[in-house]
Every structure is written in C-alpha cells, then in structure tokens.
Amino acid sequence: MFLDNGLILLGEDDGNDALLFELMWRRCGLNNRIVVAPTLNDLRAYLEGIGQYSDREAYPLPCLVFLDGHIPPHDATVDAEWLHLLLKQHQIPLVVLTGDMNPKLEQRAKNLGAVARILKPLTREHVQALGSTLAKYRVQALSAELA
C-alpha cells in the first residue's frame, strides 16, 4: 500500500476522538506517524508548510488526510476550495470522518474531493475497506499523470 511509511494528517478537534483513531490505526498493524491538527487553520498551516511546519524534513506532506466533518469552523464551505485544490495538487487522498450521516456532510465531503466518508468511531473494517479505496484512488491518480 502506498501509505506504508507515510505520515497521516488527522484534522480532529476532539482529543478523545484523535486518541481512539490512533489506537484503532495501531490495532490494525499500521505504524504511520500521525499528526493531529485541531482546527482547519492548523491543518492549512501544516499542508502549506507555514510557521512551525515550515521544515518539510520534520513535517513532510502527508500521504493521507483524515478530516473530522465537524472540525471548526463548522461552515467550512469557504475552506473547501483551498483544501480541495491543495490535496489535488499533491495527489493526497482525503477521508472525511463523521459522527452522523448528515446529507450536508455528504455534500461537504464531495466538495472537498473526499475519496471516502467514514462513520466514527474508526473500526478495523473501515481500515480494511479503506485499503481498497485508496488503491483505486492511487491507480486513478497514476493514470491521470500518464494521460
């Protein structure tokens, strides 16, 4: 899998949810370094290499971004465009995590270009299903590069 040694960026404002995410990730035998960004501003700073994240050796671009569907600010339609463009530019897949299956969140996930939307808490089954989804994403990204 292309994320074997890559960094995972987790946009999550709830410390308990972030801990549960990391515990399940580890239980699935995955050892990726996980960096938690508690706000969209922190997520943006990390992805753009701003401030404390300017050293790309210490803070490399992630191979995968998970984003809590309710991360502040809750109305992130303004932020959708920059995030979608930045992740597309670097071919970084996005997975939206949500506590409910609200249709507004489904639309937000689509606007962000998410490859998947997962109902919290993360489970082993989610991680296994995500593997095949990410493989398909990678094939599509490589095909687009060759076209």
Pair of tokens at residue 21: 């995410």
Can you give the pLDDT at residue 145? 62
The chain-wide mean pLDDT, for the chain, equals 84
pLDDT at 147 over 70: no
pTM value?
0.86
Residues linked to residue 97 through DSSP beta bridges, in sequence order: 68, 118
Q: Is 31 left (phi over 0), alpha (psi -120 to 50) or beta?
A: alpha
**What percentage of residues in the chain have a pLDDT greater than 70?**
85
CATH code for the part of the protein at 8-146: 3.40.50.2300
Say if residue 93 is preceded by a cis peptide, omega within 30 of 0. Answer: no
Q: Quote the DSSP letter at residue 39.
A: S
pLDDT at 1 over 50: no
Can you give the pLDDT at residue 51? 94
Say if residue 121 is preceded by a cis peptide, omega within 30 of 0. Answer: yes
Contact 64, 134 (CB under 8 A): yes
- 119: confidence class by pLDDT, cuts 50, 70, 90: confident
